[in-house]
Amino acid sequence: MDLTTLNVLLNSILVGIILITQFVNYPLFKKIDQNFETIHKEYTKKMGYLVAPIMILEAVTVFLIYIYFPRSNTLTLILCLTIIIWASTFFIQVPIHKKISFKKDSKKVNKLITTNYIRTISWCSKLYLSMLLVP
């Protein structure tokens, strides 16, 4: 399997995960009242084990493609979207998750849902652009 196909495969998996997160999991956080902190901590732990390795592999494939393939506007945009996804994850979503892991805060849950659109739209856009690179 070549790098562009591997990137599309990894990106597709992450798009599936982010869509479920955006439209199912995060909205359900608003409905959990009892044991929210326990449920949330378990959720973030399990999601971390699932998502982190795939995100790392996806980022590595993007950087390898960027290094070894001819540069294009599409490829540069894919790299930028990857950086946006990582920045959003670690500078927006992770800090919100850390705050609500100690105490449920409805405003912060709503902020988590709203700001997560950065990753949702970026990953979906990246998937479309990445498909254009596959021979």
pLDDT in tens, 60-112: 999 999 999 888 999 999 999 999 999 999 999 999 999 999 999 999 999 99
**pTM of the predicted structure, to 2 decimals:** 0.95
Residue 128 pLDDT grade (very low, low, confident, very high; cuts 50, 70, 90): very high
Tokens of 30: 């608003």
Q: Which of 93, 67, 91, 89 minimizes the C-alpha distance to 78? A: 67
Contact in structure between 101 and 40 (CB atoms under 8 Å) = yes
Torsion 91-97-101-107 (CA) sign = positive
Mean of pLDDT values over 29-53 = 96
DSSP string, 11-60: HHHHHHHHHHIIIIIHHHHTT--TTHHHHHHHHHHHHHHHHHHHHHHHHH
**Predicted local distance difference test score (pLDDT) of residue 48:** 96
Report d(CA 15, CA 134) in Å as an integer: 17
pLDDT, averaged across the chain: 96
- In whole angstroms, give the CA distance from residue 64 to residue 73: 16
Amino acid, single-letter form, for residue 1: M
